[in-house]
Structures are given as C-alpha cells and as structure tokens.
Amino acid sequence: MNMSIELVNKNLRNWQGRKEWFFNREHTDTYEQWYEGRYKRAEVWQKKVIEQLVKKDERVKNLLEFGCGTTRFTRWWKNIGIEATGGDISPFMLSQAIHLFDGDLVMADSHAMPFKDHTFDAVAFITTFEYYKDPVKVIREAARVGKHGLVFGMMNRNSPKVVRRRVQQAFGKNPFYVTATFYTPQHLINVIREALDGREFTIEWTCTGLPEWFPLQQWSVPYGDFFGLYVKLLS
Ligand SMILES: C[S@@+](CC[C@H](N)C(=O)[O-])C[C@H]1O[C@@H](n2cnc3c(N)ncnc32)[C@H](O)[C@@H]1O
C-alpha cells in the first residue's frame, strides 16, 4: 500500500462545483464507515446473490467494475476467483480506493469508458447504475467493453426502504439518493432490451434484502431491498 499517493489535495472539499454527494468530501469521507455499520448483514447477502449469478458463466475470469467507489465490492471479486479493475467518476472516492484496492483503477465516466472493445470478460455495476443520466448509453458502452456479460447489483424500487429514503431526502436527511433513479428488475430489463436491440442474450435475476424475520433471504420475486441481475451475452 502506497500511502504517499494523493489523487486530490486534502483541502479540496468539492469537485468542480458539482452537487452530487460523490463530488462532496463531506459525504465521501464517511462512505466506508456507513457500510461498515448497519449495512454489513445486507452486504453479505448482496455478495452471495451476485456470486451465484456471475459464477454460472464460466467464461468470466476478469471484469471491469464501473462506479467502484471506495472498492467495497471491487476488492471482493478475487475471493470468487475473478480479477477486477475499477472505474469511477469521483476523485474523492478513488482517493480512498487507491489505498484499499491493489488492482488497477481508472477515473472516468461510465457513459464513455476509456477502453477498447472487448477488453474485459464482463462489466459490473454495483449500486451505481441508479445515478446514470443515460442508462441506454451506459449499457451499450458496457456491452462494447465487456465480452461475455454484464453484472448489475442495485437497490430495488419495490422496497419499503425506497419510501423511507425519499422521506428522509425530502427532509434533507439523506443526501445519497437525491439524483438517483430507482429500478425494479422489470424496469431494468426494459432498458437492457432497448440498449441491446439486435444482440442475443439471456437475463437472470434474484432479489435479496428481505427482513431478518423473513423465512427466505433471497428469491426470484421482485420484492426486497436489493437485486442482482446478470446479462449473458451470446452474440
Ligand atoms: C453508491 S456508490 C457505490 C460504490 C460501490 N460500487 C459500492 O457498492 O460501494 C456510487 C458510485 O457511483 C459513482 N458514479 C456515479 N456516477 C458515475 C458515472 N457517471 N460514471 C462513473 N461512476 C459514477 C460515484 O462516484 C460513486 O462512487
């Protein structure tokens, strides 16, 4: 770990006047702590669901994870035998990522990935797709840079937590979702179909993030706080 690397000056609080939370150090500096706390149990299930979906496609040995943030997921892929590279638009998130992850990282926008066609076996998006202004364009980019598959992990619109977040947000208590669009599995599938028109592919998804008292912790019914979705590219 090279602690001498600094991507942005420590005194810089905001990036280019942008309002999104990931361009404001006030929020990015506490991001890891936030996930270390009450989201720990949820994260275990999120990883389980993603692993089950991706490992079915044996062609995937490496991937590019865009919107990698501080690398909460990016540093985990190697545990399931996949070599990862991370990409993110936020210099504040990446300035933490370089100390937490030992693979390669790129600072770029998901709408224009600085890679040649078919550079990676797959392209993954974990709780980042909600922020994309032109989701069709991002999926086309991912299907250009990725060869075999596209991986999505995101908050589900069909969840009582979405209502709670919107209320918190209205009262200025939750900065994280102000610019976010929430998807259901079906809503995302519609966007994927539009983006990949003319390509051959299959789609599989699973929901998790069910209450602790619930007898199941993952299922293929579109309710739950989080869902994982895998697009297997066939042509
Ligand atoms: C909620 S965080 C998720 C980070 C990480 N994937 C995780 O699960 O902890 C969303 C991330 O998406 C990034 N992001 C938002 N818009 C982006 C874009 N257009 N291109 C690349 N990254 C973007 C943000 O900078 C932020 O790091």
Measured from the CA of 23, which atom of ligand 1 is nearest?
25
And the tokens for 216? 């199941």
For the chain, domain boundaries: 21-233
Please list the ranges in the chain whose pLDDT falls under 70. Answer: 1-5, 38, 160, 163, 167, 169-173
User: Ligand 1: does its nearest atom lie under 6 Å from the Cβ of 90?
Assistant: yes
Distance CA 183, CA 198 (A): 23
What confidence score (pLDDT) does residue 115 get?
Answer: 98
- pLDDT of 71-104, one tens digit each? 999 999 999 999 999 999 999 999 999 999 999 9
Q: What is the edge-to-edge ordering of all strands in the sheet holding 83-88?
A: 105-107, 83-88, 62-66, 120-126, 146-155, 226-233, 201-208, 218-219
User: Ligand 1: does its nearest atom lie under 6 Å from the Cβ of 72?
Assistant: yes
User: Ligand 1: does its nearest atom lie under 6 Å from the Cβ of 93?
Assistant: yes
User: Ligand 1: does its nearest atom lie under 6 Å from the Cβ of 88?
Assistant: yes
Class (C level, CATH) for 21-233 = alpha beta
What confidence score (pLDDT) does residue 228 get?
Answer: 96
Residue with CA closest to ligand 1 atom 16: 131
What confidence score (pLDDT) does residue 141 get?
Answer: 98
Residues of the chain with pLDDT > 70, as a percent, come to: 92
What confidence score (pLDDT) does residue 170 get?
Answer: 66
What confidence score (pLDDT) does residue 214 get?
Answer: 76
H or E segment and range at residue 201: strand 201-208
CB-CB contact of 210 with 216 (8 Å): yes
Count CB-CB contacts under 10 A for residue 233: 19
Q: Which of 93, 128, 154 to mutate to test the pocket of ligand 1 (most atoms within 8 A of CB)?
A: 128
Distance CA 209, CA 93 (A): 25
| Selection from 91, 219, 99, 73 nearest residue 153 by Cα | 73
What confidence score (pLDDT) does residue 212 get?
Answer: 75
Cα 208 → chain centroid: 15
| Selection from 94, 153, 84 nearest residue 120 by Cα | 84
User: Ligand 1: does its nearest atom lie under 6 Å from the Cβ of 127?
Assistant: yes
DSSP structure class, residue 105: E
Global pTM value: 0.92
Q: Which of 39, 88, 132 to mutate to test the pocket of ligand 1 (most atoms within 8 A of CB)?
A: 88
Count CB-CB contacts under 10 A for residue 45: 20
User: Ligand 1: does its nearest atom lie under 6 Å from the Cβ of 46?
Assistant: no
What confidence score (pLDDT) does residue 177 get?
Answer: 74
What confidence score (pLDDT) does residue 130 get?
Answer: 95
Residues 6 or more apart whose CB falls under 8 angstroms from that of 3 comprise 99
What confidence score (pLDDT) does residue 173 get?
Answer: 63
- pLDDT of 143-155, one tens digit each? 999 999 999 999 9
Measured from the CA of 153, which atom of ligand 1 is nearest?
8
Cα 158 → chain centroid: 18
The label of the residue with tokens 């690397």 reads 5
